[in-house]
C-alpha cells in the first residue's frame, strides 16, 4: 500500500505528479491511499516511498482538464475517483467520450460543483480598503468558499487588480498579491477588519463585470 501525501497548497501539481509516477509503475487504485493535508498521517505508520515509473504515461487532454478542476473539490474520494478513471484509460481509450459511464458522471458533477463555486466567489467576494498611508491601495477580503477554489481563481483577481496590493483570506488558504507577486499561505479565521472601510466595488464599480472584460481602475 502506498500513501501519497498531498499538500493543501499546490494540490493539483502534487496529485498530477504522483498519479503519473504511480501509473508509470503500474500501481492499481486499490493499493493507494491519498492523504490530503495530513488527514491520514496520525493514523498511519511510516509511508512507503513512491515507486519509480517504468513506462511513459499519457492521458487525453479532456481528462487532464477535468482533473485540474476536480482536485479542488472537498469530496474526500476525489483523488481516488480520478486515479480510477486514469487507470481505466490504459485500456479504454475512448472512455472520455462516454456520456453514461458512472465514474465519469460522478467526476463531471464534481467538476460542475467546483466551477460553480468559482463563479460564486468571483461575484460575491467583498474587498475592503485597509490602506493606512501612502499612495498604494491595500485591499483585503475574507471568504469561505464551498470548495478549495482560492488557488485556481486567484490569478483572475491578479489580472483584474494588477496595480493594487490585496489579500484573500479563507479558512483553508490565503492568497496574497503584493507588488505584482502572487503567493499562497495557510488559511486563517475571519479577521476582525473594521466594518466601515470602503468596499472595492465602490472604487471600481464595473471592474468585475459579468462579461469578464477587464476595466482599468478609476483614480
Model pLDDT for residues 16-66, shown as the tens digit of each residue? 999 999 999 999 999 999 999 988 765 555 567 788 878 888 999 999 999
Which regions in the chain score pLDDT beneath 70?
Answer: 41-47, 132-136, 193-219
Residue whose C-alpha cell reads 470548495 in the numeric block: 147
pLDDT, residue 215, reads 35
Number of other CB atoms surrounding residue 114 within 10 Å? 25
pLDDT, residue 163, reads 85
Look at the pTM and tell me if it is higher than 0.75. yes
pLDDT, residue 204, reads 45
| 70-74 LR contacts (CB < 8 Å, sep 24+) | 70/107, 70/110, 70/111, 70/114, 71/11, 71/12, 71/15, 72/11, 72/12, 72/114, 72/147, 72/148, 72/149, 72/151, 72/152, 73/110, 73/113, 73/114, 73/147, 73/148, 74/146, 74/147, 74/148
Q: How far apart are CA 214 and CA 206, in angstroms?
A: 9
pLDDT, residue 53, reads 79
Assigned C-alpha cell, 65: 482538464
pLDDT, residue 138, reads 79
pLDDT, residue 133, reads 62
Amino acid at each position: 500500500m502506498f500513501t501519497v501525501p498531498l499538500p493543501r497548497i499546490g494540490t493539483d501539481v502534487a496529485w498530477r505528479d504522483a498519479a503519473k509516477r504511480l501509473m508509470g509503475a503500474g500501481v492499481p487504485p486499490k493499493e493507494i491511499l491519498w492523504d490530503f493535508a495530513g488527514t491520514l498521517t496520525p493514523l498511519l505508520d511510516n509511508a512507503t516511498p513512491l515507486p519509480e515509473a517504468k513506462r511513459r504515461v499519457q492521458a487525453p487532454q479532456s481528462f487532464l482538464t477535468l482533473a485540474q478542476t476536480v482536485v479542488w473539490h472537498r469530496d474526500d474520494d476525489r483523488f481516488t475517483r480520478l486515479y480510477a478513471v486514469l487507470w481505466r484509460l490504459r485500456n479504454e481509450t475512448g472512455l472520455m467520450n462516454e456520456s453514461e459511464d458512472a465514474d465519469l458522471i460522478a467526476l463531471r458533477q464534481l467538476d460542475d460543483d467546483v466551477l460553480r463555486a468559482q463563479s460564486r466567489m468571483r461575484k460575491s467576494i467583498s474587498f475592503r480598503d485597509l490602506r493606512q498611508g501612502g499612495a498604494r491601495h491595500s485591499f483585503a477580503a475574507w471568504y469561505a468558499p464551498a470548495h478549495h477554489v482560492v488557488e485556481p481563481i486567484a490569478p483572475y483577481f491578479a489580472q483584474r487588480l494588477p496595480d493594487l496590493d490585496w489579500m484573500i483570506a479563507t479558512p483553508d488558504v490565503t492568497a496574497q498579491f503584493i507588488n505584482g507577486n502572487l503567493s499562497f499561505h495557510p488559511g486563517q479565521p475571519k479577521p476582525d477588519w473594521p466594518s466601515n472601510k470602503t468596499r472595492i466595488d465602490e472604487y471600481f464599480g464595473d471592474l468585475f463585470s459579468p462579461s469578464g472584460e477587464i476595466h482599468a481602475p478609476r483614480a
